[in-house]
Each structure stands twice: as C-alpha cells, then as structure tokens.
C-alpha cells in the first residue's frame, strides 16, 4: 500500500526535473556566416565563421560552442570548440568547387543544441583582393579615358565580375558604370562622355559572378588621370557690374568668367561693344583682345576677367559680344544686351532664399505673361562676386560654397532674348553668429537734468555676422542697471526719468538669432538744474546788469560828484593876478598868534525874543570858542595839532553843499568887517591872507564879510535898552588868547595889526 502511494510523487518529481532541465539548456545560435579572405600571396586564409548567441548564460552552467565544417563529397569534418561567438578552421588546401556544410553546436551540463546548417560552394565564401587598375588618356579622344585591370585570382578558381566608378573634383559624388555593361571576360573598359581637360579618379572592385549575393572585394586604390584638352565647347560667362571709382563716377564694368567647358587653360578673350539706338546697332568699337595671365593654382571657374569699362553717364543700351580662346581654338560666341531701361522687361514674381549645407538655395516663380529665355542668379558680398545661369525651366538653384557669417546680396535677373530684365534682390546668410563687435554709443547733445538722448551707428556689415534682431540699451546708476529694447531699424533713444546731478554709464547690446554682443561704454552726468531755470536766472542777472549799466550812464555826473569831488587845480588859479591895496612883500613865515578876542554872549530871558537868532548865536559861539583854541590856518597855533570842527546845523550842511563846487586856498578880508570891543582909531586896510595849509578854505572863510554883516544885522534887531537881556562880555583867558608875546605883532605906530584870520562858521570840511 505504501509503495503504491509513492509512485505518483516520484512521477511528479521527475516531471519537475525535466522542466528545469529544459529551462537551463543552451539556446540555439543564430545568424551563422562564414568568409575566407584572399591573402597577398594569392593563398586563402582559414575559413572564419561568426554567430549570435541568445538566451541567458550563467557562470554556474557554462556553454561551449563547437564549429563544424564538413565536405559533403568526402564526409570529412573539421571542428573547432570555443566559448566565444566566433571560430575558424583551416584546410590543407582550400576546396574550390566543393560543397561545404557548416553548423555550430552549443553544449552545457544540461544539454546540447545545433544551429541551422549552412550549405554552399566553397568559393562562395571567398572575398578576393581588389584588381590592379591602370588609366590611359588619348589625345584623339579628349572626352574619354581607357581603363585596364588585372584579375586578383585566376578565373579557373573563381569567375569574377567587375564594378567601375569614377568622379571629377567638380562632381558632387561618384558615378557608376552599369553592371550590365561589363562581363566576366573583360579586363578593360573605356569611359566616355567625359569633360575634356578634367582630372578623373577611377576605382574598380570584383565579386564572384556565380554568387550575386557574394562578397565584393574592396575598391582598388585611386587612379587619377586628366582627359586630353580641346577647344572650348561652351561660351564664356558674360555679365556686368556697377562700381564707383575714386572720382565718385559710376562705371559699368563688363566682366566674364571662363567657359564652363573651357577644355584647357584660357589664354585670352575677344570682346566687342556696340551702342544701340532704338534697338538698332549705332556704333561699334570693333573686336578688342584681353589677354589672361593666370597661375595654375587659381580657380579658373571663380576667376573673373574685366573686359570693358563704360561710364554710366554715357551709358545707353549696349550689346556686348565675347569669345574665349585656348591653345586649341575659340569658344562659341556669347552675346548679352544691357538696356538703359530694364523696367520694360518684368522681374520674377517671388523669390525665397534659405541656407542649405553651406550653400544658399534660391527659389523663384517665373514672371506672368512672358517667359524668360534663361535666368542669372547673382550673389554679392563685400569682397566677392559670383553668378550662375539657369535654364528657363528652372525654378530653384543652389549657389556654390559660401562663407559663414557673411552677408550676401542675392539677385535674380531674367534674360529675355539676350536682354537683361529687372532684378529682384534680397539679403541672406549661410550661417549666422553673434556680432563681432557692438555699437558705439554717444550722446546727442548735452544731457538734461532728467533725460539724455543717445545715438549709435549701425554695425558694419562685415562685423554683424547675422541679421540684427534688436538693440538693447543698458544704463547703470550705482548698482542699479536698467534696460530698454529698441527695434533693429532704430539708432537713437531718449532716456527719461533720470536722476539729476547723477553719474550714468550706458552701453548698447546688438542681438542676432545666434547671440548678442555689447558695445563700448559711455559715461555722462545729468545736470543739477533744468536748463529753463538756468536760463531764467541768467536772463534776470543780465537784465539787472543792463539796468545798472543804464543808470550809471544816465546818472554819470551825479555819481562822479559823489565818488570823486572836483578839486580845483591851484596852478590854474587866477589869485596871482589880484592887486591888493597894500603892497605885497616877501616876509619870512611868522608864528601866527591869536589876538585878543572878546566873545559877546547874549542871554535872553524873554520868550518873545528871536528864537532863531538865539539858537544861531549859541551855536556860533560854541564854534568860535572851539576855533579860538584850534586853527589850522596861518601856520602854527597854540595847540600842537589842528582840530576838526563839524557842524550839525542845517546851515553848516547848506554851506558845505555850496562850497563843494568851489574851493579856495586864500581870501581877502576887510578889517572893517570885524566888530570888536573897541573900535580901532586907525584906518582899516584890506589884508590879503593866504593859508599855508594844503587844505582849501571853507565857505565860511570865503564869505566872511557876508557873515559879519549878517551877524551885525541880527544884533541891530535887538532893542537898545532891553531889560530882559543882558550883555555879558567874557574876556578870554590870557593863557589861551595870548599864546605868543612877540613885538613884531604890533605895527610901527603901536596899534595892533588887524587880524587876518576869520573864524570858520561852517566847520572844517575834510577832503
């Protein structure tokens, strides 16, 4: 009973082990391929085979691969084991024309598996060496080259077929000869329809003719040969351009390039220019030869030759004919007519240009109603010019290789029966970059207190390196930077809301689609005040100065009198012509002494007296007293220095004003005008008194007689016997009055000499 129950369990265990064993068995190798390379000594290398391993392999269960090759006829098997995904086997001699069966066996501890079996002829696994090629040129065939080659392996072993390809430096790629044109028995071939005087590079390879899917050999080494020369088979490329000479005269230059098929080096051009009038030939200058001296290193297709130069002022419609010559003969003639009014021939409808692999792709639509005979596509930069012709059916064309970061002016000219039509132009770049330099910014005028105007010049085309998309103006105050963006067609900007009396730094950034570049930095300082305020202050100050100036002109005399009083010139005085009554004699200077003077003081007690006289007398008494002690006239006085007497009365001011215009240094005084205590009994004489002082006499001294009379009159107005008034005679002190006791002060008759000094009533006036 126990044995019976254990049987199902053992079966289940064996089934699980079988599943586990099938899971860990190696995977079947895939994509088995074999090849045998031909050695340089014409012997074949061992047969090499490769395959792809699939499934997961672990280090605990390694897989061993065994390559097996069996010759079907003899059943001889050769094997080689490896843990890699390739292996090789060697034969004593390679079994050509023998069928081989090849497979790979994968083995591990859990089982084994074989790949698909591969059965082919042994020569189908062979990859031969490339053939040896020679190229010959023949002068009698300028458009062909003859190719000869040798087979790398004898035909009894393998019958080979060949493939030929060739190219020229100007061709975009390789050109192949059709396989149907070559058979296994050929070892030469003639290339035809080539360009004369053009280098060609030729290569040849071979393969088993009986195995279309067999291995091709590598291409043979390059063999280059120049086709023979021939006379030009195409006309020269005639065109014109407008330039400006040093005298600013615009000139039309007739230029041309070598023919597309020059077939040899061009040595000269013959050109003829005919001026047209009303569509008919008017004048012809005949044929003119222009010789070409060009080195071999120069690109003949890009070289431009100047044929003729015509002043634009004299330009009418002209017809230009040109022929190119090489050493073998002339080219076909080309003719082109340049009209003075190309507007009669319509331009193309639309034009588009975009970059394409280092070139410019130009596309256009033909004009409506009239189909041109051909088109000329021109591209012009600062230092280069080139053009190409396109057929009348063309609607697009690629230019040649162009420089990056260079702006080109692309134009399309329709040609109507050899007559140039009106062009359509546009600008284009093959590749754009950031500008090489930024704009140079400067101020437009002086900055104001809160605004400044900026201007900058456009970047030269050779430094733009692309289309300018916009300008960004940055201005910085301290650590704060602000930016303003302006369109690409703007070259100026006014900055507003600036801070007065502040230092700003400003620069302009130019941008393209590829990047941006900053220009130079410019600094400026805004004004402290607005110009209107400064103008108002300046105008007010100017008007004030003008008014003061006008016042000075109209009040010139008054100002002169106030600032510079007039002082008479003593040398021009007429005092020297006076004739006094007494004889004049020269006497030595004497000490001037003040004689006895009595001062009459009137004391009035009555209220109905003359108030004006009393005030005047009181004031004059004080003056007399002061002047008795100090006299600046007549030499030395009792005091050591003269004193100045200044009157505060209105009378003194009036006298000062009247004497301002007339100043005297001396006066004649009549002795009878003096009223003393005791009248002299001797007759009085007029005395001429001259002051030794350098100061001019005052008005009171000049008009002493008038003063004495006025004073006498005033006293006479008083009643003779008025009890209310008393006359007090006050005798001066002897020490004050008689400072000098000299005998020469008396006259010969013992009477005192009349005083030559009169008191100064107006007070002393300083100069």
Interatomic CA distance for residues 327 and 143, integer angstroms: 17
The reply to whether 132 and 116 lie within a common domain is: no
pLDDT of 635 reads 39
| Residue ranges, the chain, pLDDT below 70 | 1-24, 41-42, 55-58, 246-249, 277-284, 296-301, 312-315, 342-343, 575-767
Assess whether 604 and 718 both reside in one domain.
Answer: yes
Residues 136 and 116 placed together within one structural domain of the fold: no
Residues 645 and 662 in one domain: yes
Tell whether 312 is covered by a domain.
no
Averaged confidence pLDDT in the chain: 76
Q: Are 521 and 626 contained in the same domain?
A: no
Give the pLDDT confidence score for residue 615 in this predicted structure. Answer: 45
Please report whether residue 464 resides in a domain.
Answer: yes
Residue ranges in 264-306 assigned as alpha helix (H) = none
61 shares its domain with 40: yes
pLDDT at 93: 87
255: alpha, beta or left? (left if phi > 0; alpha if psi -120 to 50): beta
Same domain, 64 and 106: yes
Query: For residue 575, what is the DSSP state?
Result: G
- Domain with residue 220: its CATH number is 2.60.40.10
Burial 246-282 (b: 16+ CB within 10 A, else e): eeeeebbebbbbbbbbbbbebeebbbbbbbbeeeeee
The residue range of the domain holding 79 is 23-125
Asked, for residue 380, whether it belongs to a domain, the answer is no
| Domain assignment present for 618 | yes
Looking at the domain assignment, is residue 608 inside a domain? yes
- Domain contains 291: no
**Structural domain includes residue 116:** yes
* Cβ–Cβ under 8 Å, residues 360 and 428: yes
29 and 64: one domain? yes
Say if 219 falls within a structural domain: yes
Structural Rg of the chain based on CA atoms: 68
Q: What pLDDT score does 128 carry?
A: 93
pLDDT on residue 530: 75
pTM recorded for the entire structure: 0.54
Name the residue among 685, 489, 491, 681 with its Cα closest to residue 584. Answer: 685
Q: Same domain for 89 and 170?
A: no
Angle at 283 between CA 281 and CA 288, to 5 degrees: 110
Among 125, 160, 180, residue at a domain's last position: 125
Output the pLDDT for position 670: 46
Instruction: Kindly state whether residues 31 and 85 are assigned to the same domain.
Output: yes
Report how many domains make up the chain.
4
If one counts every other C-beta atom within 10 angstroms of the C-beta of residue 347, the result is 20
Of 72, 104, 125, which closes a domain? Answer: 125
Are the C-beta atoms of 634 and 740 separated by less than 8 Å?
Answer: no
Q: Are residues 61 and 134 in the same domain?
A: no
Distances (CA, A) of 323 to 229, 236, 488: 18, 7, 47
Domain's final residue, options 210, 226, 242: 226
* 598 and 741 both lie in a single domain: yes
């Amino acid at each position: 009973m126990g044995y019976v129950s254990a049987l199902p369990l053992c079966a289940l265990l064996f089934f699980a082990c079988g599943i586990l064993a099938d899971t860990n068995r190696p995977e079947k190798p895939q994509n088995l391929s074999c090849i045998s390379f031909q050695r340089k000594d014409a012997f074949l290398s061992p047969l090499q085979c490769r395959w792809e391993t699939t499934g997961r392999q672990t280090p605990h269960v390694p897989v061993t691969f065994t390559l097996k090759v069996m010759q079907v006829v003899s059943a001889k098997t050769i094997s080689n084991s490896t843990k890699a995904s390739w292996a090789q086997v060697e034969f004593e001699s390679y079994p050509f024309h023998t069928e081989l069966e090849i497979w790979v066996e994968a083995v591990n501890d859990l089982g084994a598996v074989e790949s698909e079996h591969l059965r082919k002829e042994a020569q189908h696994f062979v990859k031969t060496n490339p053939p040896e090629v020679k190229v010959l040129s023949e002068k009698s065939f300028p458009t062909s080259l003859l190719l000869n080659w040798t087979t790398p392996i004898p035909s009894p072993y393998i019958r080979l077929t060949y493939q030929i390809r060739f190219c020229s430096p100007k061709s975009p790629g390789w050109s192949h000869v059709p396989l149907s044109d070559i058979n296994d028995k050929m070892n030469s071939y003639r290339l035809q329809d080539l360009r004369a005087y053009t280098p060609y590079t030729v290569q040849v390879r071979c393969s088993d003719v009986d195995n279309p899917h067999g291995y091709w050999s590598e291409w043979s080494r390059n063999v280059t040969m120049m086709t023979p020369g021939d006379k030009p088979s195409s006309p020269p490329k005639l065109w014109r351009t407008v330039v400006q000479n040093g005298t600013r005269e615009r000139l039309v230059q007739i230029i041309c390039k070598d023919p597309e098929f020059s077939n040899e080096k061009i040595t000269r051009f013959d050109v003829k220019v005919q001026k047209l009038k009303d569509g008919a030939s008017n004048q012809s200058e005949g044929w003119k030869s222009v010789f070409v001296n060009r080195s071999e290193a120069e690109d003949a297709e890009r070289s431009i030759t100047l044929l003729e130069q015509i002043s634009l002022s004299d330009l009418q419609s002209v017809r230009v004919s040109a022929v190119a010559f090489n050493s073998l003969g002339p080219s076909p003639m080309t003719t082109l007519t340049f009209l003075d009014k190309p507007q009669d021939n319509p331009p193309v409808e639309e034009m588009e240009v975009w970059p394409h692999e280092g070139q410019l792709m130009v596309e256009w639509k033909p004009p409506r109603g009239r189909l041109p005979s051909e088109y000329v596509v021109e591209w012009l930069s600062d230092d280069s010019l080139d053009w190409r012709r396109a057929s009348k059916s063309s609607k697009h064309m690629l230019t040649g290789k162009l420089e990056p970061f260079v702006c080109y002016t692309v134009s399309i000219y329709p040609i109507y029966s050899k007559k140039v039509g009106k062009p359509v132009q546009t600008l284009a770049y093959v590749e754009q970059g950031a500008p090489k330099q930024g704009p140079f910014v400067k101020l437009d005028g002086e900055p104001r207190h809160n605004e400044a105007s900026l201007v900058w010049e456009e970047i030269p085309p050779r430094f733009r390196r692309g289309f300018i998309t916009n300008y960004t103006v940055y201005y910085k105050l301290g650590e704060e930077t602000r930016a303003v963006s302006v369109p690409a067609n703007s070259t100026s900007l006014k900055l507003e809301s600036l801070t007065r009396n502040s230092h700003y730094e400003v620069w302009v950034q130019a941008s393209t689609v590829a990047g941006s570049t900053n220009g130079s930095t410019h600094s400026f300082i805004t004004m402290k005040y607005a110009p209107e305020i400064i103008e108002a202050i300046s105008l007010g100050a100017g008007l004030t100065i003008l008014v003061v100036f006008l016042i000075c002109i109209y009040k010139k005399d008054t100002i002169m009198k106030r600032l510079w009083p007039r002082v008479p010139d003593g040398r021009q005085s007429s005092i020297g012509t006076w004739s006094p009554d007494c004889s004049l004699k020269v006497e030595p200077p004497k000490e001037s002494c003040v004689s006895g003077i009595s001062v009459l003081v009137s004391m009035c007690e009555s209220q109905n007296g003359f108030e004006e006289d009393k005030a005047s007398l009181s004031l004059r008494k004080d003056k007399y007293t002061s002047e008795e002690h100090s006299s600046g006239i007549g030499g030395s006085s009792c005091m050591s220095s003269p004193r100045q007497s200044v009157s505060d009365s209105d009378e003194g001011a009036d006298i000062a004003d009247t004497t301002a215009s007339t100043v005297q240094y001396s006066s004649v005084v009549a002795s009878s005008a003096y009223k003393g205590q005791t009248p002299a009994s001797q007759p009085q004489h007029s005395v001429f008194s001259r002051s030794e002082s350098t100061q001019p006499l005052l008005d009171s001294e000049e008009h002493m007689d008038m003063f004495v009379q006025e004073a006498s009159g005033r006293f006479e107005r008083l009643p003779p016997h008025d009890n209310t008034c008393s006359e007090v005679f006050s005798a001066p002190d002897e020490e004050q009055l008689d400072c000098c006791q000299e005998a020469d002060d008396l006259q010969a008759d013992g009477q005192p000499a009349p005083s030559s000094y009169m008191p100064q009533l107006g007070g002393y006036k300083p100069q």
